[in-house]
Amino acid sequence: MESVRTLTGFALQASPPQGGLKAEACPNYRLFENWDGKNCPMMLLAPMEVLADKQFRKAVATVGGMDEMVMEFIRIPDQGHPRSLANRYKSDELGSMTISPQVMGSHDQRMWVATRELVKRGAYRVDLNCGCPASRVTKKGSGASLLKTPSILGGVVRSMIGSGPDKFPNISVKMRSGFEDTQLFLENVYSAIDGGARAITVHPRTSYQKYSGRADWNLIREARKISTVPIIGNGDITSVQRAAEIVESTGCDAIMIGRGAVRNPWLFHEIRGHFTGQTIAPPSIKDEWTFWSTYRQAGREFGGTARGNTGRLKMILGYYFDKCTWMKEAKARLLRSRHVDDESFLYEIIDVLEQHRKHCSECSFE
């Protein structure tokens, strides 16, 4: 079988065996086990607290196209019960769609316990958050502040893996490029690998940058050059073209998409179409209806009130209606709308989406 890339220790297969790339084809990490390959990089939905919670995950799962979703962080504080915190993770939340949990903390023993609890609940890998920039988190030594001391970061990974019969090797790391600056970036990558991380997602912005400026993809390329484990490129992948660019310019092994998938839940399909040479039809109004109505319905199922759910619909449309001038103008009107009833607001959104199809000159519809 032809290997498209043989880096230090693993290879992605150009034509994986039927039924998906098997663990033995990619022996040092199961991340790629469910990946159907076919020349398209593996694609993951990024963890996004509040924005991509279980309500959004349920809606975006109706669209599909991604290979895996990563759940927003579960904070493991120095006090509290990792066992009950782990109950937030449901590995079968979306049936067969793989959802990986992410933990945020720095207390070695608690991170060990939390990892075991998540594995008991069906996690096949556990991701360590090294990116949260919130000061309430970083002042406690967690999230992005782990990037200040590479040896501590590596130590947390090592603790999560553990040793002896209880050893659990599938720990991955999601990191920013640094805390204040990027000086320790490569040291952090080395330390994560040295600690035993089996994949690293790089969101190349510092903690100080939060979400401003452009993600510096050069750093993903730097990480790829030195890494012995898969590098997942993340940050500002908002279109097919940007997806192709990040893969081409950095050599990353997989891509992770966050806000771009809220803006366009069909982006994963479009990207796959590009890499596999298939023509992907744009979503029909029925597809859009399914996405939006599932989102609304899930909000109610998970205990949301009509008013609260209307606010949640507005949060998603803030991204979704960002595709063209026509939609941006419609967005401003929708955000001003005074609906307290989420059902009538849903109908208004769909009505505007129908109008968009009829009247937009920038977007092309059949």
For ligand FMN (CB under 6 A), the number of binding residues is 22
Binding mask 248-287 for ligand FMN (x = CB under 6 A): ---------xxxx---------------------------
Which residue has the closest beta carbon to ligand FMN?
258
Cβ distance to ligand FMN smaller for residue 154 or 260: 260
Q: Does the footprint of ligand FMN cover residue 112 (CB under 6 A)?
A: no
Among 16, 37, 41, 47, binds ligand FMN (CB under 6 A): 47
Site residues for ligand FMN, 171-190, by CB under 6 A, read: 174
Phi, then psi, of 7 in degrees rounded to 5: -100, -165
Supply the minimum distance, in Å, between the C-beta of residue 98 and ligand FMN. Answer: 17
Q: Of 16 and 65, which CB lies nearer to ligand FMN in the complex structure?
A: 65
Written as six digits, the tokens of 6 are: 């043989």
Residue of the chain from 116, 203, 242, 296 that contacts ligand FMN (CB under 6 A): 203
Which two tokens mark 237? 């992948």
Catalytic residue among 40, 130, 132, 252: 132
65 binds ligand FMN (CB under 6 A): no
Shortest separation between residue 132's beta carbon and ligand FMN, angstroms: 6
Q: Is 202 in the site for ligand FMN (CB under 6 A)?
A: no
Residue numbers in the known binding site for FMN are: 102, 174, 203, 258-259
Residue 116 binding ligand FMN, by CB under 6 A: no
> Contact 211/177 with Cβ under 8 angstroms?
no
Q: Contact between 82 and ligand FMN (CB under 6 A)? A: no
Q: Which is nearer to ligand FMN, 51 or 146 (CB)?
A: 51
> CA–CA separation, 194 vs 182, rounded Å?
19
Residue with Cβ nearer ligand FMN (13 or 207): 207
Shortest distance in whole angstroms from residue 242 CB to ligand FMN = 10
CB nearer ligand FMN, residue 22 or residue 148: 148
Active-site residue, 324 included? no
Q: Residue 333: CB partners within 8 Å, gap ≥ 6?
A: 352
Q: Does 204 bind ligand FMN (CB under 6 A)?
A: no
Three state DSSP letters for the chain: CCEEEECCCCEEECCCCCCCCCHHHCCCCHHHCCCCCCCCCEEEECCCCCCCCHHHHHHHHHHCCCCEEEEEEEECCCCCCHHHHHCCCCCCCCCCCCEEEEEECCCHHHHHHHHHHHHHCCCCCEEEEECCCCHHHHCCCCHHHHHHCHHHHHHHHHHHHCCHHHCCCCEEEEEEEECCCCCCHHHHHHHHHHHCCCEEEEEEEECCCCCCCCCCHHHHHHHHHHCCCCEEEECCCCCHHHHHHHHHHHCCCEEEECHHHHHCCCHHHHHHHHHHCCCCCCCCHHHHHHHHHHHHHHHHHCCCCHHHHHHHHHHHHHHHCCCCHHHHHHHHHHHHCCCCCHHHHHHHHHHHHHHHHHHCCCCCCC
Q: How far is the CB of 335 from ligand FMN (least distance, A)?
A: 17
133 binds ligand FMN (CB under 6 A): no
User: Judged by CB under 6 A, does residue 125 bind ligand FMN?
Assistant: no
* Residue 95: CB minimum distance to ligand FMN, A: 23
Catalytic amino acids?
132
Residues near ligand FMN (CB under 6 A): 46-51, 72-73, 102, 129, 131, 174, 203, 211, 234-237, 257-260
